[in-house]
Amino acid sequence: MTETLATMAKWAPLILSGFLFNLLVSLLAMALGTMMGTALGLAQVSLSAALRRLAWAITQFFRNAPWLVLLFYAMLLLPFEVQLFGVRVALPGWLKSVIGLSLPVMANVAEIVRGGVQSIPLGQWESAEALAFSRRQTLWRIILPQAAKRMIPPWMNLYAILTMATSLISIVGVQDGVSLTRAALVAEGRTELFMPMYLMLLLMFFSYCYPIARFTATLERRFAVKS
Amino acid sequence: MAGVADFFRWLNDAHGLNFSIFYDAYDRDRFLLGLWTTLYISVFCIVLSVIIGMFGAWLQGVRSGVVRALVQGYVQLFRNTPPLVQLLFFYFGVGTALGAMTGGGSFLSGVGWAIVSFSLFAGALNVEIFRSGIEAVPATTREAAEALGYSRLATYRHVVMPLALRIALPALGNNLVNLVKTTTLAYAIAVPELLYASAQIWSEVLNVREMMNVLLVSYILYVAALVYALGRLERALRIPGYTP
């Protein structure tokens, strides 16, 4: 028992560093996905029917495809380097995995943005129009500030899901907490370590995701529309 | 069928688009086996996770605080950890430990552990979904059943659950769609499901681009079929004029 604990303590710093890399990937993918998703969500409420339909199709496509398949898609089909303004930019595996994870995030953010904008009563649009706000001004100054409050809980929920999904990058060969745990187990070569080591990894994810879930629930209650 | 095979053979020769699964019998069989495994795992998981959800939601309503705390612990632990790590924990951790206890060999196959692990993961989410469905059933309905002499279990089975199921159905459908997508994780323990079969094909035939798109379209069609079936179920179960 004490020996098992000592072995776990020996590997814990390495696995924790891998887990911190998972968190870094989650933050980058969330930032990228949120930027693309906001644009896609706003396109879904645009005045042009063609743009609306195109944005809807893109959203549905990336929302209904499995995360792991999209990750494979990005890992295998993106080039290893791209030409940006005549400069060669290398695309290492971990960066491709960030892009791969940001695709489903984008589609889910788009749905959150669309839902948030559509949850604002039509009267707000009409009043803004009566006050001679342009459509762009109405969206940015009237609608989005109100919708943002309602979008935060589902957005945080999505972030927790993304953080858990970052474990998938170990499957496509990026070194993260999961692959380092596996490497440690291979190095030790003792089967009785499998359970405690994976449990330790589970607890790392839990101690990060559970507080987020609790905080999201609190925000949901606070922002709930009183009826 | 021969016409389809000829078309895809021509597409390969003339344009270099190699959809080998449509004309090569070996690749086709591997792909179909993968599709079958994915269907098999997901249908088992859907049934088991719904049972876990209903049972867990019922346990959350019992008087014993210990049982409620245990169910809550299970739900939170499985909701807030990655399903991939759960799968590895079960397959390598629990599987090896059980195998050692029962005298060598693996306790369950990879497919078996995938079903157990994904069912527990989706089941934890279903407990929450059914619980909120049960909470949405008006207290007066439950009290009316009690006044008619229904026992606690009978009230749950004949009055509360049928209504809660209808309320919970949209959220349940979302979770089941996610469950189908989660089955791809079985790739990590070398279960020959659709993703694994496709990966084998594209690494041998070197048609990553084509297989990737076939794979994406396959999953989207499967999910679309499930969404359609759930929509039909929702309509079939609708009680005309009833709003809880």
Q: What is the CATH number of the domain that holds B77?
A: 1.10.3720.10
Task: Tell which of B85, B89, B209 to mutate to test the A interface (max A CBs under 10 Å).
Answer: B85
* B189 secondary structure, DSSP code: G
* Residue A174: φ, ψ to 5°: -95, 135
Residue B106 pLDDT > 80 = no
Task: Assess contact for B85 and A201: CB atoms under 8 A.
Answer: yes
Query: Of A50-59, B100-109, B140-149, B182-191, which gets the smallest average pLDDT?
Result: B100-109
In the prediction, which pLDDT does B75 show? 94
As for the ipTM of the complex, it is 0.87
In the prediction, which pLDDT does B97 show? 84
Question: Measured between beta carbons, which residues in chain B are less than 8 angstroms from residue A154?
Answer: none
Q: Cβ contact (<8 Å) for A191 and B96? A: yes
Read off the pLDDT band of A87 (50, 70, 90). confident
Q: How many domains does chain B have?
A: 1
Domain containing residue B193: 2-237
What is the mean pLDDT of the segment spanning A120-139?
90
Buried b (16+ CB within 10 A) or exposed e, B48-85: bbbebbbebbbbbeeeeeeeeeebeebbbbbbbbbbbb
Residue A183 pLDDT > 50 = yes
A210 touches chain B (CB under 8 A): yes
A191 touches chain B (CB under 8 A): yes
Read off the pLDDT band of A227 (50, 70, 90). very low
Residue B95 pLDDT > 90 = no
Residue B58 pLDDT > 60 = yes
Q: For chain A, what are the domain ranges? A: 2-221
Please list the residues that pair with A82 across neighbouring strands.
Answer: A89
Read off the pLDDT band of B239 (50, 70, 90). confident
Q: Using CB atoms, which residue from B80, B93, B177 is nearest to A198?
A: B93
Q: How many beta-carbon pairs below 8 A join chains A and B?
A: 109
A73 touches chain B (CB under 8 A): yes
Task: Assess contact for B172 and B208: CB atoms under 8 A.
Answer: no
Residue A113 pLDDT > 70 = yes
Residue A188 pLDDT > 80 = yes
Distance from CA of B236 to the nearest CA of A (A): 24
Residue A80 pLDDT > 70 = yes
Question: Measured between beta carbons, which residues in chain B are less than 8 angstroms from residue A191?
Answer: 96, 100
In the prediction, which pLDDT does B238 show? 85
Burial class (CB in 10 A: 0-12, 13-18, 19+), A94: middle
Read off the pLDDT band of B205 (50, 70, 90). confident
A198-203: Cβ within 8 A, 24+ apart: A198/B85, A198/B88, A198/B89, A198/B92, A198/B93, A199/B89, A199/B93, A200/A8, A200/A12, A200/A15, A201/A15, A201/A19, A201/A177, A201/B85, A202/B77, A202/B81, A202/B82, A202/B85, A202/B86, A202/B89
Indicate whether B242 belongs to any domain. no
In the prediction, which pLDDT does A156 show? 93
Query: Of A36-40, A109-113, B106-110, B170-174, which gets the smallest average pLDDT?
Result: B106-110
Question: Measured between beta carbons, which residues in chain B are less than 8 angstroms from residue A197?
Answer: 93
Q: Cβ contact (<8 Å) for B94 and A66? A: no
Average pLDDT value for chain B: 89
Residue B201 pLDDT > 80 = yes
Q: Cβ contact (<8 Å) for B81 and A205? A: yes
Question: Measured between beta carbons, which residues in chain B are less than 8 angstroms from residue A213?
Answer: 76, 79-80
Read off the pLDDT band of A166 (50, 70, 90). very high
A209 touches chain B (CB under 8 A): yes
Chain A residue with CA closest to B188: the answer is: A171
Cα–Cα distance measured from residue A97 to residue B84, given in angstroms and rounded to the nearest whole number: 16
The CA distances from residue A219 to A120, A222, A225, in Å, are: 18, 5, 12
In the prediction, which pLDDT does B244 show? 57
Q: pTM for the full model? A: 0.89
Indicate whether B184 belongs to any domain. yes
Query: Of A67-76, A80-89, A164-173, which gets the smallest average pLDDT?
Result: A80-89
Read off the pLDDT band of B22 (50, 70, 90). confident
Question: Measured between beta carbons, which residues in chain B are less than 8 angstroms from residue A170?
Answer: 84, 188
Query: Of B11-25, B76-90, B118-132, B158-172, which gets the smallest average pLDDT?
Result: B11-25
Residue B7 pLDDT > 90 = no
Question: Measured between beta carbons, which residues in chain A are less than 8 angstroms from residue B230?
Answer: none
Helix (H, G, I), strand (E, B), or coil: what is residue B50? helix
Read off the pLDDT band of A19 (50, 70, 90). very high
Cα–Cα distance measured from residue A5 to residue B181, given in angstroms and rounded to the nearest whole number: 36
In the prediction, which pLDDT does B105 show? 62
Tell me which fold the domain A2-221 belongs to: MetI-like fold (1.10.3720)
What is the mean pLDDT of the segment spanning A31-52?
93
In the prediction, which pLDDT does A206 show? 95
What is the mean pLDDT of the segment spanning B45-73?
91
In the prediction, which pLDDT does B104 show? 61
In the prediction, which pLDDT does B12 show? 82
Q: Using CB atoms, which residue from B76, B82, B219 is nearest to A167?
A: B82
A198 touches chain B (CB under 8 A): yes
